[in-house]
Amino acid sequence: MNDKTVKILKSSFWAVLALVLLWFSFRGVDWGEFWKVIRSSRWGYVLLAMAAGVLSFIFRALRWRLLLLPGEPETRRLDCYDGFTIGKLCDLVIPHVGEFVRCGYVVTPRMTYDKALGTVVLERAWDILMLLLMIVVLLVFRGEQYGGFFLENMLEPVAARLNISLWWLLFLALVLLVAAVWLVFTMRHRSRFCAKVAGFFRGIGQGFSSFLRMKGKGCFLLLTALLWLMFLLMSWFIIKALPMDLGLGLADALFIMLVGSVAGIVPVPGGFGAFHYLVALALQTLFAVSFETGIIFATLSHESQAVTMIVCGLLSYARQAFKRRG
């Protein structure tokens, strides 16, 4: 089986998974009530969420540029922005392919494709570290409120199915994780998959070391903080957009945003299905919001950002096409 066939099969599998998750999320929805709530939503807040999405693209592009500058001081801000938004547009079709696509828009004789891809790995490593850090902080300070979601919906069902205690499950998971890391680094020269995973872990370490050597550390941290603030505002504005009062605060919006970010790790095109199901489940489990209302929230949140990605990506693609013709 050649590489092209494998890629087609992988893409088909994740596309089918997205459709299954969408069906599972939307089954039983009262479509009359669904569209009634959508039409009565406060669309000004939806537009604010979309504006926060555009700002997040800008902050991501500026932060990525900081990692590119040591290798290519002439890297243009607009090229970074265009590459990123075009990559997000591609992600709506093939999951995570945008990380590879955007590198092509900043390649120069000094900034080779491999070097550009390395900066993407470093940037993504920082995002994952920030995501984990915020989850830990939220669980430390609001563990009684939010910890139950992860226990009841992820860990306890597995423990019950295996007929073991939760502590034994956590211990077993830790042992398996250590064994997996050891196996990956042992087999990295023999297996392409292990080499990629080992490269990811090395990327996290390089991300720290690269940050320590970076000249604009303060700017990098500020852009990272602004980026995650935009993510929080995108969640908060959609809460305010709903015609009903869910009684949720900023801390709740942060938790929902983190759940949505975890859903984004699932490699389905554009996060369709996975985002809708997990976010609706979180709202139902923790805040006694009906699953159907949770689906409406997830739909407004996800689809408004999908439209933002499409518009910004198409504009960037047109600008780059015009630039190359000139």
Would the pLDDT of 9 be above 70? no
Higher per-residue pLDDT: 201 or 167 = 201
Q: Dump pLDDT digits (tens) for 121-135.
A: 888 878 888 888 887
Query: What is the rounded distance in angstroms from the CA atom of residue 93 to the CA atom of residue 101?
Result: 12
User: What pLDDT does 121 receive?
Assistant: 81
| Both tokens assigned to 122 | 């470093």
User: What pLDDT does 166 receive?
Assistant: 47
Q: Tell me the H-state helices in 214-290.
A: 217-241, 250-263, 274-287
Grade residue 49 by pLDDT with cuts at 50, 70 and 90.
very high
Q: Dump pLDDT digits (tens) for 265-315.
A: 665 555 566 788 888 888 888 788 888 898 999 999 989 999 999 999 999
User: What pLDDT does 155 receive?
Assistant: 47
Would the pLDDT of 7 be above 70? no
Residue 269 is classified by DSSP as G
Measured CA to CA in angstroms, residue 245 lies from 249, 289, 300 at distances of: 11, 10, 15
Q: Categorise residue 240: left if φ over 0, alpha if ψ from -120 to 50, beta otherwise.
A: alpha
Is the CB of residue 58 less than 8 Å from the CB of residue 50? Answer: no
Q: Dump pLDDT digits (tens) for 194-211.
A: 676 666 666 555 555 556
In angstroms, what is the C-alpha Rg of the chain? Answer: 21
Residue 321 is classified by DSSP as H
Query: What is the rounded distance in angstroms from the CA atom of residue 312 to the CA atom of residue 309?
Result: 5
Q: What does 90-158 look like in DSSP terms, one character per residue? A: HHTTSTTTHHHHGGGGS--SSS-HHHHHHHHHHHHHHHHHHHHHHHHHHHHHHHHHHHHHHIIIIIHHH
User: What pLDDT does 135 receive?
Assistant: 79
Query: What is the rounded distance in angstroms from the CA atom of residue 326 to the CA atom of residue 307?
Result: 29
pLDDT winner (highest mean) among 171-180, 186-195, 239-248: 239-248
Would the pLDDT of 111 be above 80? yes
pTM score, whole prediction: 0.78
